[in-house]
Structure 1
């Protein structure tokens, strides 16, 4: 199964392609958006990240990265990717959730809305058994979004220092939800 286009009440989530480079540049050039992700990126860094994300999306059927649009305008970036490093074998039945939203659209519920659809897609369409999400320990807004979606705190750990600028807070928090927890929250009928 290749990535599919997903829809919510306000969002159209389109599988990420090379054609979305300019949108990702806008998102990743904003130091506030990237504050907990290593800081603003330059074009060459974004191009390399896009190539890596597209290759990562090919590691597991149905998983990947999506560009989100509200009424045709770019809003942000969502992912449901294979957990672990890009060079690791994907864990069967697992996915890792994430999102970045343009700053002008913060606090409008789009992160939750798109992420809820990816949880639904992962559990209901793809048959995943566990979905996790990683967040910088200092990113309390993401923590609130993840717990609001029903994900539970699993652990705190230190991130590889090579990924972040010197002096960065290296603490990362993992949240997760199992298929059983999803089904308890989303009972049909």
Structure 2
């Protein structure tokens, strides 16, 4: 098990080929995917596309970048998935993109904020990156509150050409960013040499970004 970041309550580790079923349960839950895609994904799609892409990222990206399984320390259960990788979402023009989604059973416990803060700390303190970005649908209030609790700043709104993509898409997506300079001015602690970041439980979480 390759642990990338540790927080107070979670271990963020690399996915393995054995995680397909758990990942499919996450991507196949309409509640989780409500602000992400029109149709939840099937196990076949996860096995043929999503998981192979995650495993490929570990070979192609710098160590510490990619998509990671969030494991709750207390139970050993997978709480969801976090990601930190070169920006690729529609509406972004650069930077390193932060993402997260949690199983509904883990909503409302501050885990999204905890994991996101740890990856931001790793981005700036361990990986020496300059610019972290994220997007979330305007209607996903819980998600953009998580980003703001992490110190990120809303900089603009973009709109998809096909605004009828899903309910709420017509209101656009918010773009958030945080620069290394702003993070340092906020007085954030850098993670340890192993990527560890001790983060408190000070904000309610939300599963999607």
Give the TM-score normalised by structure 1.
0.85
SS in 1 for 2:33: coil
Whether the aligned pair in 2 keeps the contact of 1:68 and 1:74 (CA below 8 Å) is: yes
RMSD: 2.5
Deviation at 1:186, TM superposition (A): 2.3
SS in 1 for 2:32: coil
Worse-matched range after superposition: 151-160 or 134-143: 151-160
Residues 1:14 and 2:13 are matched in the alignment: yes
Whether the aligned pair in 2 keeps the contact of 1:56 and 1:82 (CA below 8 Å) is: no
- 2:70 matched residue in structure 1: 68
Q: Write the distance in 2 (CA, Å) between the matches of 1:147 and 1:36.
A: 18
Deviation at 1:17, TM superposition (A): 2.5
Worse-matched range after superposition: 120-129 or 39-48: 39-48
SS in 1 for 2:181: helix
Q: Write the distance in 2 (CA, Å) between the matches of 1:82 and 1:116.
A: 17
Q: Write the distance in 2 (CA, Å) between the matches of 1:58 and 1:186.
A: 33
Deviation at 1:139, TM superposition (A): 0.9
Deviation at 1:104, TM superposition (A): 1.1
Q: Which runs of 5+ in 1 are unaligned?
A: none
- 2:114 matched residue in structure 1: 113
Give the TM-score normalised by structure 2.
0.77
Deviation at 1:149, TM superposition (A): 0.6
Q: Write the distance in 2 (CA, Å) between the matches of 1:24 and 1:36.
A: 17
Worse-matched range after superposition: 135-144 or 13-22: 13-22
- 2:32 matched residue in structure 1: 33
- 1:155 matched residue in structure 2: 156
Q: Write the distance in 1 (CA, Å) between the matches of 2:5 and 2:14.
A: 9
Q: Write the distance in 2 (CA, Å) between the matches of 1:117 and 1:101.
A: 15
Whether the aligned pair in 2 keeps the contact of 1:59 and 1:82 (CA below 8 Å) is: no
Q: Structure 1 residues 187, 44: closer, same or farther in 2, change over 3 A?
A: closer
Q: Structure 1 residues 186, 37: closer, same or farther in 2, change over 3 A?
A: same
Q: Write the distance in 1 (CA, Å) between the matches of 2:60 and 2:158.
A: 25
- 1:46 matched residue in structure 2: 46
Deviation at 1:136, TM superposition (A): 1.5
Higher relative contact order (CA 8 A, sep 6+): 2
Whether the aligned pair in 1 keeps the contact of 2:14 and 2:68 (CA below 8 Å) is: yes
Deviation at 1:55, TM superposition (A): 2.9
